[in-house]
């Protein structure tokens, strides 16, 4: 039986590791439910959520080189307005790019950063040469 990516299937937990659980799918195929895909909340230990022999519904995420990636948390239907992606609004305080206050600064391009680096580097090398030439007794050194 071919496993279709995106489909939900029933499977039996065949093994548990510290990084996830192996689930045996219909047709004898085995896939991995990574620890991050076991539950919607933080999972410290997979054994707290699953036991060997449990029947679970899994969603097939991908199949690459015979390895099947599965998810348990993506099989749970969420009410509208909720998502399993934990994206929170990012605070803008203290970043210096707050457009509402008129302090927005455009991003520097790579060329701008490179020219600033070269300028600082040249200044550092010049002062370094000035300070070391007199100490090694070469041309321009002090003689007393």
- Spell out, as residue ranges, where the chain has pLDDT lower than 50: 84
Rounded Cα gap, residues 143 and 34, in angstroms: 72
Buried/exposed code over 24-55 (b: 16+ C-beta within 10 A; e: otherwise): ebeeebbbbbbbebbeeeebeebeebbeeeee
- Which pTM value belongs to this model? 0.53
Tokens 């020219």 belong to 115
Angle at 14 between CA 10 and CA 16, to 5 degrees: 115
Task: Give me the residues paired with residue 12 across strands.
Answer: 24, 55
* pLDDT for position 113: 87
Q: What is the pLDDT of residue 54?
A: 92
pLDDT for the residue numbered 110: 85
* Residue-level pLDDT at 73: 92
HEC profile of 4-54: CCCCEEEEEEEEEECCEEEEECCCCCEEEEEHHHCCCCCCCCHHHCCCCCC
In this structure, what token pair is assigned to residue 75? 């099989």
Question: Closest by alpha carbon to 53, among 31, 27, 21, 76?
Answer: 21
pLDDT per residue over 42-82, tens digit each?
A: 999 999 999 999 999 999 999 988 899 999 999 887 665 55
pLDDT for position 103: 60
pLDDT value at residue 2: 67
At 87 the pLDDT is 53
């Amino acid at each position: 039986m071919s496993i279709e990516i995106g489909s939900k299937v029933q499977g039996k937990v065949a093994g548990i590791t510290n990084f996830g659980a192996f689930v045996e799918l219909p047709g004898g195929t085995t896939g991995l439910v990574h620890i991050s895909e076991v539950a919607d909340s933080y999972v410290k230990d997979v054994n707290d959520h699953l036991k060997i022999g449990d029947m679970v519904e899994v969603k097939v995420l991908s199949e690459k080189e015979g390895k099947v990636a599965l998810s348990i948390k993506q099989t749970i239907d969420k009410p509208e307005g909720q998502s399993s992606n934990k994206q929170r609004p990012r605070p803008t305080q203290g970043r210096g790019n707050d457009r509402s206050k008129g302090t927005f600064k455009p991003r520097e391009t790579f060329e701008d950063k490179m020219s600033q680096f070269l300028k600082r580097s040249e200044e550092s090398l010049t002062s370094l040469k000035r300070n070391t030439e007199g100490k090694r007794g070469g041309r321009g050194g002090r003689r007393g």
